[in-house]
Amino acid sequence: MNKNSVSVRISAKDFAYQEIKERILKCEYTPNQPIAEEELAKDLKISRTPLREAMQRLELEELVVRQTNGRLKVAPVSVKEVRELFLVRSMLEGIIAAEAAEKCTEQDVRHLSYFANMIKQTANERDMEAVSTFGSQFHTYLYEVSQNKTAVKILRQLNDHIMRYRRLAHFIDTKETSFEHEALLEVIAKKDKHNAELMMKKHVLKAMEKAVTALKQYENTMNENE
């Protein structure tokens, strides 16, 4: 076999996990929607054994919840949860920013500059979908630089949940976001740990306010339609 080709014999369990997770994050499966194992297994053309393992993983990540009768449903949403997600995220992103400021090389700064520039450019073009994408890449790059596996693992899960809320309540970035990333880059390049942490925390907490506002609006329109 070609040495460069990585054999990606993906297991049924992992396939199911990825597939179902995507459906939940994209809100194809809506909050509180019930899920039956047999039906889903048939749909994915696998047996219940690996499906159950996939579902358990999603359950532990709290993207699905198990009811007292043992049956599964897609996790509910709440303003309280959004606040918690962003509050915890702000602290962990703060750690990451500080550690990244400490460890980043000149090449890392160049990479981050690229993302910051793309954020600025797409923000000017009012392409907020792209702003969000490059924003994620900016943060994800910091994750790598920080080398803090414990924090990064938690952050990835938090970000999954946040992604679902984003799709659900349609909250988007603003022009401010662009400036914030530029300012962050600046202090990180200066290896200013302390300010990197503070600014990152504030940056994330600002995003929280947008998210909360959007979700409240979403919940209002939902209540009107019932």
Q: Residue 92 interacts with DNA (CB under 7 A)?
A: no
Residue number with CB closer to its own copies (79 or 189): 79
Residue 8's Cβ-count burial label (10 Å; 0-12, 13-18, 19+) is exposed
Residue number with CB closer to DNA (46 or 184): 46
66: partner contacted, choices its own copies, DNA, none (Cβ within 5-8 A by kind): DNA
Element at 66 (helix H, strand E): strand 64-66
Q: At what angle do helices 48-60 and 12-25 cross, to 10 degrees?
A: 50
Q: Residue 149 interacts with its own copies (CB under 8 A)?
A: yes
Q: Residue 11 interacts with DNA (CB under 7 A)?
A: yes
Q: Residue 38 interacts with DNA (CB under 7 A)?
A: yes
In this chain, which stretch among 23-31, 81-89, 180-188, 215-223 interacts with its own copies, using CB under 8 A?
A: 81-89
Tell which one of 12, 158, 183, 198 touches DNA (CB under 7 A).
12
Tell which one of 44, 65, 91, 128 touches its own copies (CB under 8 A).
91
User: Which of the 8 DSSP states describes residue 64?
Assistant: E
Q: Residue 58 interacts with DNA (CB under 7 A)?
A: no
Tell which one of 13, 120, 164, 181 touches DNA (CB under 7 A).
13
Name the 3-class secondary structure at 123. helix
Name the 3-class secondary structure at 116. helix
Can you spell out the DSSP letters for 179-224? HHHHHHHHHHHTT-HHHHHHHHHHHHHHHHHHHHHHHHHHHHHHHH
Q: Residue 35 interacts with its own copies (CB under 8 A)?
A: no
Residues touching DNA, count (CB under 7 A): 21
CA distances from 162 to 106, 117, 207 (A): 31, 24, 11
Tell which one of 2, 4, 150, 223 touches its own copies (CB under 8 A).
150
Dmax (CA) for the chain in angstroms is 60
Binding site for DNA (CB under 7 A): 9, 11-13, 35-39, 46-50, 52-53, 66, 69-72
